[in-house]
Amino acid sequence: MSINALYTDLSGYYDLMCADIDYPAQSNGVHRLHQLFGNGGTRHLDLACGTGPHIQHFLNYGYQCEGLDINQPMLDQAARRCPQAHFHLGDMCDFRFDEPFDLITCFLYSIHYSAGIEKLQGCIRSAHDALADSGMLCFNAVDKTRINNNLMVSHSTKHGGSEFRFQSGWHFIGEGERQSLRLRIDKTTQGVSESWQDEHPMVALSFSELEALLLPFFEVHIFEHDYQRIEPWDGSSGNALFVCTKR
């Protein structure tokens, strides 16, 4: 299967795979962080926006939203979901916009889709250049040194007469700058089962390495991966929220 199969051939299943994600809580948590650390503006860009579920909530908060994604089938769904927003086909590691943004978000660990340190640096520079003065970049990340290759998360749901089971988990070999997100989809319809397996190459780095890449461009705050509460990262958990204010 192509490494982009979930986002192209299987894009119709993407929202089902993410059915257990609390989009309202995630969006509200970042909105609160923007109120605390941002510049008060309302121009918002969502990187790797997918089908636009986060944008839907930021529109309700009064933001002027745009989305960027590398897969057109996802953008087609996003445009149907959020007709008030503007969507762009492009690479989050190399993008330019004429008007600056006040908030740039990148949810669901999508910052790791940069697929290498050099590409990630391009993403950071592009975000910095696209932000207005004191604009804010916010994303979540996983520390490669704390990945458990044996840990998988899963959930099941029913849709259109079929039952779906989704599994996902990180994998890191213990060295280098490459980790992967492993996915499995099982679909059962009237006793007949189908399965798809997908693996997405992603950039691997520790939080200290990530912070070092960000500091030349941003004032960096690292918080616990909890969208309900704003608490500083405890220094040990493997997932965190990065809040970066443009210098």
- Tens digits of per-residue pLDDT, 125-136? 999 999 999 999
Structural domains in the chain plus CATH codes = 21-144+204-246 (3.40.50.150), 145-203 (2.20.130.10)
| pLDDT score recorded for residue 1 | 38
Residues present in the chain in total: 247
Higher pLDDT, 2 or 229: 229
Query: Contact 246/129 with Cβ under 8 angstroms?
Result: no
Tell me what percent of the residues of the chain surpass a pLDDT of 70: 95
Tens of pLDDT, residues 160-208: 899 999 999 999 999 999 999 999 999 999 999 999 888 889 999 999 9
How sure is the predictor about 3, in pLDDT bands with cuts at 50, 70 and 90?
Answer: very low
pLDDT at 16 over 90: no
Higher pLDDT, 1 or 151: 151
Tell me what percent of the residues of the chain surpass a pLDDT of 90: 88
Side chain identity, residue 120: L
pLDDT at 87 over 70: yes
| CA 78 from centroid of its chain's CA atoms | 15
| pLDDT score recorded for residue 13 | 73
Task: Report the candidate in 73, 59, 53, 96 with the shortest Cα–Cα distance to residue 7.
Answer: 73
